[in-house]
Amino acid sequence: MKKENLYEPFSVSFETLDKGGVWAHKNSFFELIYVLSGTGQQCINQHKFDYHPDHMFLITPDDCHSLDIKTSSQFFFLRFNDIYIRSKGISSADLQRLEFILHNANHQPGCILKNQPDKSLVRPVIEAVIREYLNRDLYNKELVQQLVNTLIVVVARNIARYLPKKVSECTEEKAIGILEYIQNNIYHPEKIRTEMVSKHFGISETYLGRYFKKHMNETLQQYTTNYRTRFIVNRLQHSDMRINEIADELGFTDESHLNKFFKKQKGLSPGQYRKSFKEPLC
């Protein structure tokens, strides 16, 4: 199966595709696809979804993706990779939101814009990007980058609120806030200890434990452990970072500490896991 690469931090394009198919392929980068017009069917990892204008999809690295176009369709494509995520062009707060996308996108088809106000926000932003690309006015590159950052943050917000498997639209705001706090502070282990989380939200540790277990069906410690493990797995699968660099990024004491943590969760050392990893079949 063809795998596409991206040779710049990010790229935007807008294309009109006539009736027919876009064959299944995989990317080594993230891809946001916004439907400006037309109808058809989207497929991600053998799951299908009918698309219409104003739908937006997120394709994550190694997802198998294809399009079956029913009527002539115009798409906006935003592609970005780890180089862009790590670049100085995006703030540390936004970087954490991108890490949230990385770990919580559920690899299923369908429009990711669940928050109604965001639906009316996204199209004007995309149209502004297209205008800047066509007009090539003064400072257009800088403006496009800011608009791209806006789109990514909007997507992160929708994923944060609606896509994690354990979070539904009826989940209480405080529970979502606790999740976001943990995800935003995953780089700082001292901030996600139970006593620090309870202090941040102004509730007792006992109540926090009961409340979190009630809404998430797992303890706070289990959630934090699983989230850190998914973070490490993603780094091992989709980056060339050395083990000691991953350990430093996540606040482990040293590489040995990370090895012990990861082996307890996965039964393999990070190095062994990286060697054994194989791309999933579409």
Weakest mean pLDDT among 112-121, 165-174, 254-263, 266-275: 165-174
Res 277 pLDDT > 50: yes
In the numeric block, the tokens 């205008």 are attached to: 131
What's the topology of domain 3-162?
Answer: Jelly Rolls (2.60.120)
138-170 pLDDT, tens digit per residue, is 888 888 888 988 888 888 777 766 544 444 434
Res 175 pLDDT > 50: yes
Query: What tokens were used for 60?
Result: 């994550």
Contact 58, 97 (CB under 8 A): no
In the numeric block, the tokens 């200890």 are attached to: 193
First to last CA, the chain: 9
Domain map (residue ranges) of the chain:
3-162, 186-276
Distance CA(66)–CA(45), nearest Å, equals 9
186-215 pLDDT, tens digit per residue, is 888 999 999 999 999 888 888 888 888 887
pLDDT of residue 3: 66
DSSP string, 13-36: EEEEE-SEEEEEEEESSEEEEEEE
CATH class of 186-276: mainly alpha
